[in-house]
């Protein structure tokens, strides 16, 4: 089956910078999934880490979040893994695709019956006779080519059109995709909830202590309070609320420098300092250690 990673970089320059970070992080860890970016920015070297660059079709800011579900329409992919551009990959994506294959539509989260998730969930459920809803982060969504899934995606969009009826419409922001998807899943019974503890994706919501992250050593580990307090080592780190933290932008700088190194240095390049160190250690081995 043809698999793609699908992401967006529309508008402000920073969205292109973050999407380049995602593409570079996938390339750095050796992930071979075809990478597709939808962007209106022509001033970035997308060909460096993306296989296909598409222009945006939907200019209305109202529906920008729902455009993440257009991967089947815009490509010939059988399996689509949508990732928000402000994500970084620390593990190859094969496990995610293989886990989700055949499930139609997948999000990672937990079931909720009440509380406030954008709106009063208990009131929403009572008004529309809904079972429990899946609370999830829309920064990672999986879907695949099938008549059932394509019908489901149509229903998601229809629920978005009825956002005012369901009580999650807003005049100051795009239509919320997460509630629209969750309501559609509850109404149809279609789709699969990936248990949150699998940590295919994590946004460090409820971070406790320090966020340990370094793309140069492929390290991403932290403790957070989500649905439980636990240690997390995600496949995908979604910057989300940490997009304004220095630790995240340092990773983008590291990735850019490594990309520049790859284009400016030949295969097997050894720096003058490495050559000097090798020479010194060679002499130590010959004259000191090997005499023992």
Confidence of residue 288 (pLDDT cuts 50, 70, 90): confident
In contact, 80 and 4? CB cutoff 8 Å: yes
What's the rounded Cα separation, in Å, for the pair 185 and 95?
A: 23
Point out which residues pair with 141 in neighbouring strands: 82
**pLDDT band of 173, cuts 50, 70, 90:** confident
pLDDT band at 163 (very low <50, low <70, confident <90, very high): very high
pLDDT score at 110: 96
Q: Domains in the chain, start-ordered, CATH in brackets?
A: 3-261 (3.90.550.10)
Rg from Cα positions in the chain = 22
Give me the pLDDT at residue 290, please: 66
Tally of CB atoms within 10 A around 126: 11
CA dihedral 70, 71, 77, 82 (to 10 degrees): -140
pLDDT above 80: residue 291: no
Distances (CA, A) of 74 to 32, 49, 57, 71, 200: 20, 19, 10, 5, 25
Q: Quick one: tokens of 289?
A: 């250690």
Q: Do 70 and 63 meet the contact criterion of CB atoms below 8 Å apart?
A: no
Residue 206: other Cβ atoms inside 10 A? 13
The DSSP symbol for 218 reads T
> What pLDDT band is residue 103 in, cutting at 50, 70 and 90?
very high
Percentage of the chain surpassing pLDDT 70?
98
Q: How far is CA 79 from CA 119, 245, 286, 289, in A?
A: 31, 32, 56, 56
How far, CA to CA in Å, does 236 sit from each of 34, 121, 224?
16, 28, 15
- Residue 287 binned pLDDT confidence (cut-offs 50, 70, 90): confident
d(CA 95, CA 200): 9
Kindly indicate the confidence band of residue 234, based on its pLDDT and cuts at 50, 70 and 90: very high
Average pLDDT, the chain: 95
pLDDT at 292: 55
pTM here is 0.94
Residues 147 and 69: their CA atoms lie apart, in Å, by 15
Which tops the pLDDT comparison, 291 or 190? 190
């Amino acid at each position: 089956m043809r698999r793609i990673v699908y992401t967006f970089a529309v508008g402000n320059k920073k969205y292109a910078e973050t999407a380049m970070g995602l593409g570079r992080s996938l390339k750095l860890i050796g992930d071979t999934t075809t990478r597709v970016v939808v962007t209106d920015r022509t001033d970035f070297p997308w060909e460096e880490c993306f296989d296909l660059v598409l222009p945006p079709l939907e200019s209305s800011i109202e529906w920008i979040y729902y455009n993440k579900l257009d991967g089947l329409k815009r490509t010939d992919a059988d399996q689509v893994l949508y990732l928000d551009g402000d994500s970084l990959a620390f593990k190859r994506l094969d496990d995610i695709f293989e886990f989700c294959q055949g499930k139609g539509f997948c999000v990672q989260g937990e079931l909720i019956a009440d509380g406030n998730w954008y709106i009063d969930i208990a009131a929403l459920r009572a008004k529309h006779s809904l079972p429990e809803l899946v609370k999830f982060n829309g920064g990672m969504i999986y879907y695949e080519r099938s008549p059932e899934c394509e019908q489901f995606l149509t229903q998601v969009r229809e629920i978005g059109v009825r956002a005012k009826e369901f009580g999650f419409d807003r005049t100051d922001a795009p239509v919320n995709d997460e509630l629209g998807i969750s309501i559609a899943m509850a109404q149809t019974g279609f789709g699969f909830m990936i248990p949150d503890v699998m940590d295919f994706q994590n946004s460090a919501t409820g971070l406790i202590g320090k966020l340990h992250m370094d793309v140069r050593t492929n390290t991403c580990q932290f403790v957070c309070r989500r649905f439980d307090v636990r240690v997390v080592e995600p496949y995908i780190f979604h910057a989300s609320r940490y997009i304004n933290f220095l630790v995240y932008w340092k990773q983008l700088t590291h990735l850019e420098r490594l990309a520049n190194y790859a284009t400016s240095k030949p295969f097997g390049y050894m720096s003058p300092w490495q050559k000097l160190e090798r020479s010194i250690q060679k002499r130590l081995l010959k004259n000191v250690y090997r005499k023992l």
